[in-house]
Amino acid sequence: MKQSRWQQATYRHPYLFALLLLAVAFTVNALLQPNLLEPTTLNSNMRVFLPLILVAVGQAIVMIGGGIDISVGSIVSVTNAILATQIGLSGDLSTAGVIMGVALLAGMGAGALNGLCVAYLRLQPIITTFATSFIYSGLALFILPNPGGGVPSRLTAFYRETIILWLPLAFYVIALILLIWAAIRRTRYGRYLYAVGGKADAAYETGVPVRAVQFSTYVISGFMAALGGIAMTLLTGSGNAQVGDPLTLSSITAAVIGGTPLSGGAGGVAGPMIGAIILGLIRNIISFANVATWWQTFVNAAIIVLALATPGIINLVRRRNR
Amino acid sequence: MPPLLAVRNVAKRYGAVQALIDASLEVDAGETLALIGANGSGKSTLSKVINGVVAPERGQLLLGGRSVHFDSPHAAKDAGISTVFQELSLVPQMTVAENIWLTREPLRRSGMIDRRTERRRTEDLLSLFAGTLRADLTPDTPVAALLPDERQIVEILKAISVNPRLLILDEATASLDSRQVQRLFELIGQWKAQGTAIIFISHRMAEIEQIADRYSVLRNGQTVGAGSMKEATANDLVTLMAPETAGGAVERRRLSSDILATRRIVLQIDDLRTSVLRGVSMQVREGELLGIGGLKGQGQRDLLLAIFGGTPWSGRITLDGKPVHFTHPRQAMNHGVALVPGDRAGEGLLSIRSILENLLVPSWRNYGFPLQMQRARRDASAIAARLDLKMAGLDAPVSSLSGGNAQKVVIGKWLLRNPRILLLDDPTKGVDIATKAEFYRLLTRLCEEGTTVILYSSDDEELIGLSDRVIVMHDGRISSELAGASLTTANLVAASLGVASGDAP
């Protein structure tokens, strides 16, 4: 029952560990790439990190609510396929806006299907979203069987080059999300989210609309994945129906590093954002170190296993030492 | 004028189990009704029907004379019915304030939660139990960091925070210490004066006699009696609850200190220290029943765990004259030490597995490879018979047993290993009187057979009735030892509260 000081600190600030890791990753990266903080380098990094940051935020909200969403990567792919085929390299901006809206709706629809199965049909989140991920990636391949299509260069230029007051576009997106999250945290919905993820039975007995809250987390996650898909498309400027695949594992890793436990009911959104940045920095480090890219996947998986095992290892060590 | 709440002829079935057959009760504004009955008599189900967690199959709920149907706990709460749940309804990851006001957070005009008001209201509620709680318990303390009694109090505060017309207290005193119970009773008096009706569910007869105005008795899902407490004695109620085993607790004949002195010292402890214990020394003799008393959370549980090798410790433990240092329960088990945990659902049982498997979990290694199932089954049924286990069969899941019978399985699995030292961590918490009596007989017999028993109990009468000697713990130390003539309830309560024995009023 007694909590250590570290446990208390991480309860109040779940992203403490992530900040520590960020400092390390940043230092190593800066040693390899001394111009890391120059505006252009910062921008070229952040615009690459942003899609994962967005997806990780959605993933974190599902995880706080006690679930998990294995289909986010496929939703990113669907979004990419829709944008690349429907806007096209020579599309005009107003169509682009409409199509992006459609893509966001599609993401929310995919999330709603997940939410329906998990919250109302009471299926296992991990199995359900794993299964639906195949539906969505199939859909992406149906829309865009071969890599191709794309979006006009004016759009990609806007995404890639926008720097306001020395800070790249990604910073403003992050700030906006943090502001919205801070507001949500102070509403009843915010409280319900943590209650449902912490102990759904207790929340139900207290009168929290448990299913509606669970459902909503998947819709939010679908929306954020679609947003991530839009960012990804604007970043690459092209279509590829498998572009989102690696984001699923990465988003879970980012959320876990960011202090959102797989057991739910704790964590936040700032941590997972930092987690996503850490993963991006690690990828930089790996590419600078000139090793094969599959190391990235290995590192992702290793981090998850380590994050899960750390509390157990700490306990074992403590027992030994007494 | 109709009563505030009338329940008429309610029935409810869970699968094959008919939890309620024909239950009725009435409670008026400003009175306390004791709902009593043995374990499995349907008390909890009836309270769940009243607070909307469970929908009845037959019967009627009349609130102020009007028929009502609650399809959710929320609907019942809106109608002014609030419950202190037996299985706690708090979210461990959230703070005290967040838990108490969940779904009723005070809002600003902007729709944001007014945390300052929430905090102030929580402090007001906590002040109701001021003096019986840790000083550093604030509205911002996460519930995960609270002890069971503190959680229970937060649960009570959460229930009362809605200003209910009817408050249901379902075993709400089970994990409270005597000071907290007295404080709760004072508060119940105030709430009654304000016109709140209270349904009080408890296994502790002394509390029922102290607080209830009227009673309603359930037996096997049927209401078998109701009336005014003034006109009923405790024995009347026990007879109504369990007619075949009237009589309550058995008094065990204490071993005198002269006889005890001739016995071999089985366990000697010197200056035992853990994160909670601050130097405990004691010795226990063969066939002795040593009671451990005191307020909740004074290190009693840690003492048992340390002996069992379940928590790291320093000091000296001597078993049969040989110094031992168990770092894992398995080592303790191999030396004939057994611990029956208090949280039977969490630590004592694999609830979806069969009774047979549960009984044999600590003993499989004695049955070779491949397992000699016939011998195992024979031994298990012998134990089941010895414990008078009421079950459908050895292959039925433990979850099909009532609370008292499940507790017997927890003890039974250790008896199969013939322990020499049996450690018990509040074994009768939430167990009905009939099962308790049976359990007391079992302990008496074990002691006669030479087993040494160390019993921690939150029930003072049980400690007095059963123990040869009681050590009282306070703040990680033994504050006093009671034996012979000084072993009385008054002395035990006085010692628990830190009052020198003899000076108690």
Query: pLDDT per residue over B65-98, tens digit each?
Result: 888 888 887 888 888 998 887 667 899 889 999 9
Amino acid making up residue B149: D
CB-side exposure of B411: number of CA atoms within 13 Å?
Answer: 29
Amino acid making up residue A194: Y
| Shortest Cα distance, chain B CAs vs residue A9, angstroms | 12
Determine the length of chain A. 322
Whether residue A136 is contained in a domain is answered as: yes
Alpha-carbon span B105 to A187, nearest angstrom: 9
* pLDDT greater at residue B492 or residue A70: A70
Cβ distance of B91 and A266 shorter than 8 Å: no
Whether residue B341 is contained in a domain is answered as: no
Give the domain CATH number at A61. 1.10.3470
DSSP annotation of A173: H
> Cα-atom radius of gyration of chain B, to the nearest Å?
24
Whether residue B41 is contained in a domain is answered as: yes
Cβ distance of B53 and A322 shorter than 8 Å: no
Q: Which of B53, B98, B111 lies closest to A187 in CB terms?
A: B111
Whether residue A2 is contained in a domain is answered as: no
Q: How would DSSP label each residue in B191-243? A: HHHTT-EEEEE-S-HHHHHHH-SEEEEEETTEEEEEEEGGG--HHHHHHHH-G
Cβ distance of A1 and B93 shorter than 8 Å: no
Within 121-150 of A, beta carbons closer than 8 Å to B belong to none
Q: Tell me, what's the pLDDT at A125? A: 93
Q: Which residues of B touch A311 (CB under 8 A)?
A: none
Domain of A129, in residue numbers? 13-321
Question: In angstroms, how far is CA B380 from the centroid of its own chain?
Answer: 27
**Sites in chain B below the pLDDT cut of 50:** 244-248, 500-505
A9-23, A215-229, B374-388: least confident range: A9-23
Q: Which residues of A touch B275 (CB under 8 A)?
A: 2
Residues B286 and B326 in one domain: yes
Residues B313 and B219 in one domain: no
Q: Which residues of B touch A206 (CB under 8 A)?
A: 73, 89, 102-103, 158
Cβ distance of B146 and A1 shorter than 8 Å: yes
Whether residue B264 is contained in a domain is answered as: yes
A208 touches chain B (CB under 8 A): yes
Whether residue B157 is contained in a domain is answered as: yes
Alpha-carbon span B19 to A294, nearest angstrom: 59
Query: Cβ(A86)–Cβ(A187) under 8 Å?
Result: no
Alpha-carbon span B83 to B170, nearest angstrom: 7
Give the residue from A201, A225, A185 showing the smallest Cα distance to A64: A185
CB-side exposure of A277: number of CA atoms within 13 Å?
Answer: 26
> Searching chain B, which residue's CA lies closest to the CA of residue A201?
B89
Amino acid making up residue B376: A
Q: Which residues of A touch B88 (CB under 8 A)?
A: 202
Query: pLDDT per residue over B361-377, tens digit each?
Result: 888 878 877 878 888 88
Size of interface A-B (CB pairs under 8 A): 80
Give the domain CATH number at B443. 3.40.50.300
What are the distances in angstroms from CA B58 to CA A288, B13, B159, B321? 73, 10, 27, 64
Q: Tell me, what's the pLDDT at A175? A: 95
A5 touches chain B (CB under 8 A): no
Alpha-carbon span A24 to A16, nearest angstrom: 13
Cβ distance of A186 and B113 shorter than 8 Å: yes
Residues B255 and B355 in one domain: no
Identify the three-state secondary structure at position B316.
Answer: strand
Task: Say how many domains are in chain B.
Answer: 3
Query: Cβ(A126)–Cβ(A68) under 8 Å?
Result: yes
Residues B165 and B263 in one domain: no
Query: Cβ(A196)–Cβ(A208) under 8 Å?
Result: yes
* pLDDT greater at residue A135 or residue B487: A135
Task: Say how many domains are in chain A.
Answer: 1
Q: Tell me, what's the pLDDT at B271? A: 93
The yes-or-no verdict on residue A1 having pLDDT over 50 is no
Residues B32 and B135 in one domain: yes
Residues B322 and B470 in one domain: yes
Q: Tell me, what's the pLDDT at A232? A: 94
Residues B216 and B107 in one domain: yes
Alpha-carbon span B54 to A81, nearest angstrom: 48
Q: Which of B102, B112, B142 lies closest to A195 in CB terms?
A: B102
DSSP annotation of B244: G
Residues B411 and B425 in one domain: no
φ/ψ of B108, rounded to 5, equals -80, 175
Whether residue A157 is contained in a domain is answered as: yes
Which structure tokens are listed for A18?
Answer: 């992530």
Q: Tell me, what's the pLDDT at B504? A: 35
**B67: CB partners within 8 A, 6+ apart:** B60, B61
Query: Cβ(B495)–Cβ(B480) under 8 Å?
Result: yes
CB-side exposure of B193: number of CA atoms within 13 Å?
Answer: 6
Q: Which residues of A touch B74 (CB under 8 A)?
A: 207
Residues B259 and B270 in one domain: yes
DSSP annotation of B87: S
Domain of B308, in residue numbers? 249-336+419-505
Give chain B's contact residues with A (Cβ, < 8 Å): 53, 72-74, 77, 85, 87-94, 98, 102-103, 105, 107, 111-113, 115, 142, 144-147, 158, 275, 312-313, 327
Residues B450 and B387 in one domain: no
Burial grade of A160 (CB within 10 A; 0-12, 13-18, 19 or more): middle
* pLDDT greater at residue A88 or residue B472: B472
Give the residue from A213, A126, A231 showing the smallest Cα distance to A177: A231
Chain A contact probe: residue of B86, B102, B118, B325 with most A CBs at under 10 A: B102
What is the C-alpha end-to-end distance of chain B, expressed in Å? 44
Query: Cβ(B266)–Cβ(B421) under 8 Å?
Result: yes
Segment (H or E) for B455: strand B452-456
Cβ distance of A183 and B115 shorter than 8 Å: no
Domain boundary among B189, B220, B245: B245
Place of tokens 């009706």: B197
A63-67, A301-305, B239-243: least confident range: B239-243
Residues B235 and B99 in one domain: yes
φ/ψ of B404, rounded to 5, equals -65, -40
Query: Cβ(A3)–Cβ(A11) under 8 Å?
Result: yes
Residues B183 and B273 in one domain: no
Q: Tell me, what's the pLDDT at A277? A: 93
Amino acid making up residue A305: V
The yes-or-no verdict on residue A142 having pLDDT over 70 is yes
Alpha-carbon span A32 to A220, nearest angstrom: 37
Domain boundary among B245, B272, B296: B245
Whether residue A3 is contained in a domain is answered as: no
| Shortest Cα distance, chain B CAs vs residue A80, angstroms | 36
Question: Pairing relation of β-strands B278-285 and A163-164?
Answer: unpaired
Q: For this complex, say whether ipTM is above 0.85.
A: no
Domain boundary among B397, B418, B439: B418
Whether residue B266 is contained in a domain is answered as: yes
